Structure 1
Amino acid sequence: MSFVWLGCSTKEEIIPDTKPIQIEALPAGNVTASIVTLNAEVQYLNDEVVLDHGFMIMGVNNSNPEKVSLGKIVKAGPINLEYKSKSVFELDAYYSYYYYIQTEKQRYLSKSISFTVKDFWVDQQSVLPITLGDTLHLTGKFEQLSNYNIVRVSNIYPQRELSIVKRDKDFMDILIPKDLGNHGQNMTILLSKSSNGQNSNFGREQSLVSIKLLGKVEFNANGPHYFGDDIPIKSYGLSWGVSNFNLIIGNRILSYFNDNDKINLSGLKITQQSIRLGYYNGVDTVIAKQKLELIRPNQDFFETTNIVAHPRQMNTMRFTNLLQYFGSDYYNMKIFVGDSLSSGPIYYGPDSMHFQMPRLADGSYKVTINTPQYGNIVLKKPIEIKKLKYEIQNKVPYYIGDEITLKGNFLDHCNYVIKINDFDIFSGAAKNSMLKFKLWNANFGKETFLVGIGGGDYYPVYPDKGETIDVPGIRIDSFSPTSGYAGDIMTITGKGFANMYSMVNVFVGDVSAKVISFNNNSVKIYVPITIRKGPVPIRMMYYIPNGEVVASQKFEAK
C-alpha cells in the first residue's frame, strides 16, 4: 500500500495498490529422516486482505498432498517452517513443496521446490570379513529404509538378493548364504528398491558395504568316535589348494583337505584322546563346541598268544578291529615288556601282529601298549620270560644220520631251528621238553650246532654259542659176501653212511663201485666188472674233510 500527496491541498487521497504479491519457494534445509525445514520468501505484499498462507507438501509422484497453514498473518521476508513428516521420508525419493498465500481476491502460488532425503549411513567403511552362513551386523542410521528396500550382491550374475534378518533404525542384520561364493572372494553389497515395491522408479542403487567372504567347515562329530572311522564334514567356499585356510585337528594345524566330504585321523599324528576340531579362516580361529571323544580300547582288546616266552622270541599279539581303533597309525604303536621296548610290531593281518621279546632276565613282566592317542594300555596277563636252557641227553660221538636228543625248557608253542655250518638241518617244535633231530651236513671231527628260536615266518635268533659234539666220520663194521664175482651185490654195514651221494665214494680195490642204495647203517654196491682177482681192500673215501676208511678184512674177488 502506498500514499500519494497532491499539491498543497489538505485532503489526503488513498490510491489502491494493484501490484501483485510476489512470493518464492526456496530450497529445503536441515533435511533429516523425518524432519525438513521448508523455506520461502515473501518478496512483495500489496493491500489485499490475506486469508491464509502456508506450504503445500507433496509426496512421491506428487501423491498425498498435505497442506500446512501458517494462519492469516504474513509479513514480507523469509518464511521458515520446520516440518515433521507423519512417516519417515523414503530414501532418495523425490518430494516437493510450494508456498501459497490466499487473499480475498485470489490464490498466489510459488514454483515447486523438489528435495530428496538421504539421512542414512553405515558406520563400517572398510572391507568386512564375513563367514559364509553367518549374519552380517551393520550399525549406522537405517531409519529411512523400508520393507521395499532390498540388498543384493553385485559381483555375481544375475545379482542375488540377500535376506535382511532384522532391521532397526540404528542397525541392520543381513544373512550371508553359505553358497554365496568362495573363500577370500571380495563382494559389494548394494542397497536398492524392490522392482515390485511402491515408488520403485525412484531412488538409485548404492553401495552399502564391501565384504570379504570366509570359508567355513562344519564337523559332524557328535558322540564317541572310533579313531579309524571317517569324520563327516561339510565345507563351504573351499576347495583343494585354497590359501590362507587351515584345519585344526587336535594339536595339529593342517592345510585344508577334503576327501569326499570326510576326513580321517590316520597319519595326522594325533596325541590326544579328546580332540578339538576347528579351522583358521585367515581372520579368526573357530573351534567346534564339542570335542571329538575317541573310544579307547580296553585291556581285553589285546592278547598275547604266548604268555611264556624266551628272550628275543617272536610273539603274537591278537586283537579284533585294529584299524577301527588305530586306523593306519598302528605302526606308531610301541609294545613294552616290563620297561623294555620290544622290536616291532609287524602287522600280519586283520587280527594279529608279531613283536619280539626284549633281552630280559627270567621273571614275570607286564605288557604295555603305548600309542600317541591313547597313552598306555596295560594287558591283563603278564608274560613270563624263560631263558632258553638245554643239554645233550647222551654225550657220545654222533655219526652222520644219528638222532640227537636235546632236553631243556623248550616251549611247546615255539619253533626251533638247528643250524650246522650255516645250514639249517632241523626246524620244528619240541615235544615233552625235548628236541630230536638227525645229524647231517656235518664235518667230521669237532662240530658245533646252534639252537635257534623262531624260523618259519621270521628269521630265527640264536641266543648262545651252541653245543660241540664229536662226529667220528664213517665206520665200516663188516661186509658180505666176503668173496664173489664181478657184478655181485655187496652189502657193507657200519655207521655214518647218510651222505653217500654227496660226500662218500666206495672202492673195491682201486675201482669205484656203483652204489645201489644206502641208509645210515648200510650200503649196497655192485662189485665192479674190472676188478682184478684175489684179495682186495674195501675202502670209502670222504671229502669233508678229505680222508678214507678201510675195512679190517679184504674181499676175495673170483
Structure 2
Amino acid sequence: MKKILYILIITAFTFAACTKTEETLLPITESKIIVFDYSKIDAISQSGATISSRLVSLNQENVQEYGVLISRFGSGKYGKEEQITLGKGIKIGPLSYSFAPKGGLKSSDRYTIGFYIQTDKGFYRSASVLIRWNNISVEPADMKAVRTGDKITINGNFDGVDESYLIRNSNYQSIIPYEISSDKKKLTYEVPKTNLPHGSTLEFYLQNISSNGPNNGFPDYESYALPRVKIAATIDPIILNNIYFITPIILTGQNLPDRYQEATDLFLIVNGIKVKYQNPLNLNEIAGLKGNTFKIGYHNGINEVIFPNAVQLILPNGADMIFNKSVVHPKTSLQVSGMRFNQLFYNSPFTVQFGEQAASQGQLNYDESILVQVPDVNNGSYAVSINSPYYDKIISKNKIEVRKLILNQIETKTAYVGDQIKINGTFLDGIEYGLSLNDIDLYDKKVNNGTMSFKIPDQKEGKANIKIYYYGTHEQVYGEGNLSFTIEKSMISSVSPLQAYPGDLITVKGKGLKHAEQVFLGGHYVQIVNRTDESFQFLAPSNFMQAKGRVTININEGVIQSDDYIEIR
C-alpha cells in the first residue's frame, strides 16, 4: 500500500514538471544622461555678453530648476560661483543668457559662465566660457629694422586702452610712452635707448598694470605682444680731420656690433666704396681706395648716411726726402728717408721713379725709410718721385746722380805675376767692386780716388782679360769696356852668391817671382825665408849631395830655371 502511494506521488510531480509555462517580456527603457552641446559667446560689448549653448537630452528626468553659474577671477584665482536661477521650464534645444554686470565689463575683469540643470536625480552643468572684454587688438606686422629714437606706428583696435596700460620692452628694461590716434586705430611709440648690439631683436608688450585688477596689479596680468623690431646701429660723425694713412679711425655710436660680431647688413662707405663694418676703420685695408680726402658714412639696413666733414690725409712733402748716397750706379739700392713712410704708405701700393723711368717697387722698412732699386738709366742727375693712389706725385727737391761703370783702357800692355795693375774708370769711392781675371773671380776691391789697383796673381803666361763688376740689388753688374794685357812668363835674372856654404843665404832675383812657392836647388827642395815682389832668399842646404845645382821654380803653371849654377862647399 505504501509502495503504491509513493508511485502516485512521484507521478504527480513528474506531470507537474512537464507542464508548459508562459513567459512575459518587460519593455527596456533607454537611459541617457543630460547632455549639453558646446557653449559659446554670441555677442560681447562693454555693457555685457550673450552666451548660448544647446541642450541635447533630458533623460526624462524631473527638472527642478535650471540657470547659469558665474565666477569672477580675482587675486590670482577664480572666486566662488554665483548660481542664478532661470526657471524650471526647459526644453531640449537652444539655451541663451545675457550677462550684464553692473557698470559693464572692464578690461581687467574675467568671468566664466556656464549653464546648469538640477533634477531629482542629479546636478548637471555645461562647459563654461571665458568672458573677457578689452576691446583691444593688434594687427600683425613683419619685423623691421629701427634705430633708437625712431617712432613706430602699429595698426589695430585700441579702444579699450586706458591709463592703466603701458608699453614695456623685452625683460621690462624700460616703460615707454605712447600715443593713440583719435580714431583708436593707431598706436605710436618711440624706440628707447638700449645697449643691445646691431641686429638684436627687441620685443614690446602692451600691458595692463591696474592696481585694481584681479591680479593685484602684477604687470604680466594682461599683455599684448606688439610687432618685434630689429635694432639698427647708428654711427656718430667722425671728428678726426688730418690723419696718417695708417691711423685707425675709432668709431662711436649707438648699438654698434660687438667686437667679434659679424654684422651682415651694416656697411661702412668710404668714397663710395662699401665695405663690411669694422671698428676701428683702417683705410689702408680698403682695396681700390684712391685720393687723400675721404667722405665716410655707413648703411645700417635702413638708410645711407654720409658724414658732412671729410677726413683728410696728412700729405707728404717731397722736399723732406733724404738719400743715403748722392751718386749711384744703375741697378743698385738707394735708401730714401726723411718722411714717415710707414705712416704714409703702409700696406699700400706705390712706385718710385727716377725722372720718367720707373724703379722697382719700393720696399718699406720699419725705420721709416724705403729701399728702392735704381733703374738702368743713362748718366745724369734725376729727381726721385713717388707715385701713390692716395697722394699727388711726390717729387724730391734733391737729385741723385746716376753714373754707369765705364772702364778706361789700362796703360800697361805687358806685366809679370805680382806686378801691380792700375785701372781707371767711373768708380765710386766706398763701393766694393769685384775683379775677374780670365773669368776667374779673384777678390773684392775698394777704389781710391776713382782708381782701382791690384797685383797680378799666379797666372799662366799669355793674354789676360779683366772684368770688373759691382754688386747690384739682385745681380752682378759688369762695367763697360774690354780690358786686357799680356802676362809674361816669370824669369830668373840672377842668383847669388854662386858659391856658398850650408846655411848661407842665397838670393834669387827676377820677374814675376812673388808667388814662387815650390823652389828647388838641383832637385833638392829649399825653404824660402825672405821674399819681395821681385826676389826671394833661401838657406843653402846642408845635406846637398851634388857639387853644383841650378835654381828651379814651379810657377805660371810651368817651370823656370836659373842660367847659373850654385856650388855648395
TM-score between both structures, scaled by the size of structure 2: 0.66
**CA contact 1:306–1:413 (8 Å) conserved in 2:** no
Q: SS where residue 325 of structure 1 aligns?
A: helix
Q: CA deviation at 1:218?
A: 5.3
Does 2:569 align with 1:550? no
Separation (CA, whole Å) in 1 of partners of 2:530 and 2:296: 78
Give the aligned partner of residue 423 of structure 1.
Answer: 441
Give the aligned partner of residue 106 of structure 1.
Answer: none
Q: CA deviation at 1:288?
A: 4.3
**CA contact 1:136–1:176 (8 Å) conserved in 2:** no
Q: CA deviation at 1:442?
A: 5.0
Separation (CA, whole Å) in 1 of partners of 2:466 and 2:405: 15
User: Matches of residues 102-121 of structure 1 in structure 2 within 5 Å?
Assistant: 116=133, 118=135, 121=138
Residue deviations 1:34-56 (CA, integer Å, cap 9, x gap): xxx999xxxxxxxxxxxxxxxxx
Give the aligned partner of residue 248 of structure 2.
Answer: 230
Does 2:378 align with 1:365? no
Residue type of the alignment partner of 1:191: L
**CA contact 2:406–2:480 (8 Å) conserved in 1:** no
Q: 2:322 aligns with which of 303, 314, 325?
A: 303
Give the aligned partner of residue 82 of structure 1.
Answer: none
User: Matches of residues 300-449 of structure 1 in structure 2 within 5 Å?
Assistant: 300-329=319-348, 332-348=349-365, 350-412=367-429, 414-420=431-437, 421-431=439-449, 433-440=450-457, 442-449=459-466
Give the aligned partner of residue 13 of structure 1.
Answer: none
Taking a change above 3 Å as real, the CA distance of residues 362 and 293 of structure 1, as seen in their structure-2 partners, is same
Separation (CA, whole Å) in 2 of partners of 1:282 and 1:400: 86
Residue type of the alignment partner of 1:509: G
Task: Give aligned pairs, total.
Answer: 446
Give the aligned partner of residue 511 of structure 1.
Answer: 524
Separation (CA, whole Å) in 1 of partners of 2:267 and 2:511: 78
Give the aligned partner of residue 205 of structure 1.
Answer: 223
Taking a change above 3 Å as real, the CA distance of residues 348 and 239 of structure 1, as seen in their structure-2 partners, is closer
Taking a change above 3 Å as real, the CA distance of residues 194 and 493 of structure 1, as seen in their structure-2 partners, is farther
Taking a change above 3 Å as real, the CA distance of residues 249 and 210 of structure 1, as seen in their structure-2 partners, is closer
Q: SS where residue 177 of structure 1 aligns?
A: coil
Taking a change above 3 Å as real, the CA distance of residues 439 and 171 of structure 1, as seen in their structure-2 partners, is farther
Give the aligned partner of residue 161 of structure 1.
Answer: 173
User: Matches of residues 244-283 of structure 1 in structure 2 within 5 Å?
Assistant: 244-245=264-265, 247-248=267-268, 250=270, 253-258=274-279, 262-269=280-287, 270-281=289-300
**CA contact 2:529–2:538 (8 Å) conserved in 1:** yes
Separation (CA, whole Å) in 2 of partners of 1:536 and 1:497: 19
Residue type of the alignment partner of 1:411: L
Q: 1:242 aligns with which of 262, 273, 281?
A: 262
**CA contact 2:248–2:281 (8 Å) conserved in 1:** yes
Give the aligned partner of residue 499 of structure 2.
Answer: 483
Residue deviations 1:83-131 (CA, integer Å, cap 9, x gap): xxxxxx9994569xxxxxxxxxxxxxxxxxx985546756x71111234
Q: CA deviation at 1:367?
A: 2.1
**CA contact 1:265–1:327 (8 Å) conserved in 2:** no
Q: SS where residue 382 of structure 1 aligns?
A: strand
**CA contact 2:495–2:508 (8 Å) conserved in 1:** yes
**CA contact 1:90–1:144 (8 Å) conserved in 2:** no
Separation (CA, whole Å) in 2 of partners of 1:390 and 1:289: 63
Give the aligned partner of residue 92 of structure 2.
Answer: none
Residue type of the alignment partner of 1:522: S
Q: CA deviation at 1:179?
A: 1.9
Please provide the CA RMSD for this pair.
4.2
Taking a change above 3 Å as real, the CA distance of residues 490 and 225 of structure 1, as seen in their structure-2 partners, is same
Gaps of 5+ in 1: 1-25, 32-36, 40-88, 96-113
Separation (CA, whole Å) in 2 of partners of 1:136 and 1:360: 69
Q: SS where residue 345 of structure 2 aligns?
A: helix
**CA contact 1:475–1:496 (8 Å) conserved in 2:** yes
Separation (CA, whole Å) in 1 of partners of 2:565 and 2:508: 12
Q: SS where residue 343 of structure 1 aligns?
A: coil
Does 2:553 align with 1:540? yes
Gaps of 5+ in 2: 1-41, 50-103, 111-130
**CA contact 1:495–1:521 (8 Å) conserved in 2:** yes
**CA contact 1:399–1:472 (8 Å) conserved in 2:** yes
Separation (CA, whole Å) in 2 of partners of 1:401 and 1:197: 121
Q: CA deviation at 1:537?
A: 1.5
Q: CA deviation at 1:224?
A: 0.9
Give the aligned partner of residue 496 of structure 1.
Answer: 512
Q: CA deviation at 1:206?
A: 0.8
**CA contact 1:479–1:493 (8 Å) conserved in 2:** yes
Separation (CA, whole Å) in 2 of partners of 1:219 and 1:522: 88
Q: CA deviation at 1:211?
A: 1.5
Q: Which has the larger radius of gyration?
A: 2
**CA contact 1:276–1:290 (8 Å) conserved in 2:** yes
Q: SS where residue 379 of structure 1 aligns?
A: strand
**CA contact 2:407–2:481 (8 Å) conserved in 1:** no
**CA contact 1:240–1:256 (8 Å) conserved in 2:** no
Residue deviations 1:432-488 (CA, integer Å, cap 9, x gap): x33333443655422222222347x97642243652232225333333333213333
Separation (CA, whole Å) in 1 of partners of 2:419 and 2:413: 11
Separation (CA, whole Å) in 2 of partners of 1:524 and 1:349: 59
**CA contact 1:246–1:280 (8 Å) conserved in 2:** yes
Taking a change above 3 Å as real, the CA distance of residues 314 and 136 of structure 1, as seen in their structure-2 partners, is same
Residue type of the alignment partner of 1:405: K
Give the aligned partner of residue 291 of structure 1.
Answer: 310
Separation (CA, whole Å) in 1 of partners of 2:551 and 2:106: 131
Q: SS where residue 408 of structure 2 aligns?
A: strand
Give the aligned partner of residue 51 of structure 1.
Answer: none
Separation (CA, whole Å) in 2 of partners of 1:493 and 1:552: 12
Separation (CA, whole Å) in 2 of partners of 1:197 and 1:440: 117
Separation (CA, whole Å) in 2 of partners of 1:274 and 1:90: 68
Q: CA deviation at 1:297?
A: 0.7
**CA contact 2:257–2:263 (8 Å) conserved in 1:** no
Residue type of the alignment partner of 2:393: N
Give the aligned partner of residue 121 of structure 2.
Answer: none
Separation (CA, whole Å) in 1 of partners of 2:276 and 2:562: 86
- Greater Cα shift, 163-172 or 473-482: 163-172
Q: CA deviation at 1:324?
A: 1.8
**CA contact 1:419–1:426 (8 Å) conserved in 2:** no
Q: CA deviation at 1:149?
A: 4.3
Q: SS where residue 250 of structure 2 aligns?
A: strand
Residue type of the alignment partner of 2:563: S
Taking a change above 3 Å as real, the CA distance of residues 311 and 483 of structure 1, as seen in their structure-2 partners, is same
**CA contact 2:549–2:567 (8 Å) conserved in 1:** yes
Q: 2:533 aligns with which of 504, 520, 538?
A: 520
